[in-house]
């Protein structure tokens, strides 16, 4: 994709909007006092040809990262990026943890609570709603990350 910016403006915006740090630390619980740091929109790292960014928010963490490269071809900035999950474990956990919860709850109700058939259907309905909600929230966060990136770096 192409950006309306020059390569120097692109690097300046990267510098001004990115808090430098490791994405492995950002997406875990080891980052100390992130609230008192700057108010930059992205967190990650970049160099002269590539970048790896995620949102800089502790209130709404995301497992997605914007990963890509940029280069100037005939005075036109070409930006190639993808939005992907940071690790396979995180994406598998978001996908399959609610399903494993449904199976576990049904096994518990089947073997230990034989008289609670109504409770089983209510709990299953609640867990199904949670599955759809968690996937909807994850997809919404991915789209918001992409919209922020495209808006700030003026990508067409």
What's the pTM value of the predicted model, to 2 decimals?
Answer: 0.78
Region 84-98: mean pLDDT is 80
SS (H, E, C) the chain: CEECCCHHHHHHHHHHHEEECCHHHHCCCCCCCHHHCCCCCEEEEECCCEEEEEECCCCCCCCEEEEEEEEEECCEEEEEEEEEECCHHHHHHHHHHHHHHHHHHHHHHHHHCCCCHHHHHHHHHHHHHHHHHHHHHHHHHHHHHHHHHHHHCCEC
Residue 69: pLDDT over 90: yes
Rounded Cα gap, residues 143 and 138, in angstroms: 9
Phi and psi at residue 114, to the nearest 5° = -65, -30
Structural domain including 138 reads: 1-156
**Which residue, 83, 69, 86, is CA-closest to 143?**
83
* Structure-block tokens of residue 13: 């915006």
Q: How high is the pLDDT of residue 25?
A: 63
The pLDDT value given to residue 33: 47
Q: What is the pLDDT of residue 53?
A: 92
Give how many domains the chain has, as a whole number: 1
**Average pLDDT of the residues of the chain:** 83
Tell me the per-residue pLDDT of 3-60, one tens digit each, with 9 for 90 and over: 899 999 999 999 999 988 877 665 555 444 455 555 788 888 999 999 999 888 766 6
Model pLDDT, residue 37:
54
| Residue, of 22 and 127, whose pLDDT is higher | 127
Note the pLDDT tens digit of each residue in 102-121.
Answer: 888 888 888 887 777 777 88
């Amino acid at each position: 994709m192409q950006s309306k910016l020059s390569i120097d403006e692109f690097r300046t915006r990267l510098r001004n909007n990115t808090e430098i740090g490791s994405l492995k630390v950002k997406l875990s619980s080891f980052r100390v006092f992130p609230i008192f740091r700057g108010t930059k929109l992205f967190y990650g790292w970049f160099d002269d040809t590539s970048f790896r960014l995620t949102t800089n928010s502790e209130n709404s963490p995301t497992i997605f990262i914007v990963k890509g490269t940029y280069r100037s071809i005939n005075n036109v900035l070409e930006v190639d990026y993808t939005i992907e999950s940071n690790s396979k474990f995180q994406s598998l956990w978001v996908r399959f943890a609610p399903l494993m919860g449904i199976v576990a709850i049904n096994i518990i109700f089947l073997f230990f609570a034989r008289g609670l058939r109504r409770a089983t259907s209510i709990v299953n309905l609640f867990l199904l709603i949670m599955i759809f909600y968690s996937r909807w929230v994850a997809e919404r966060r991915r789209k918001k990350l992409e919209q922020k990136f495209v808006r700030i770096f003026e990508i067409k």
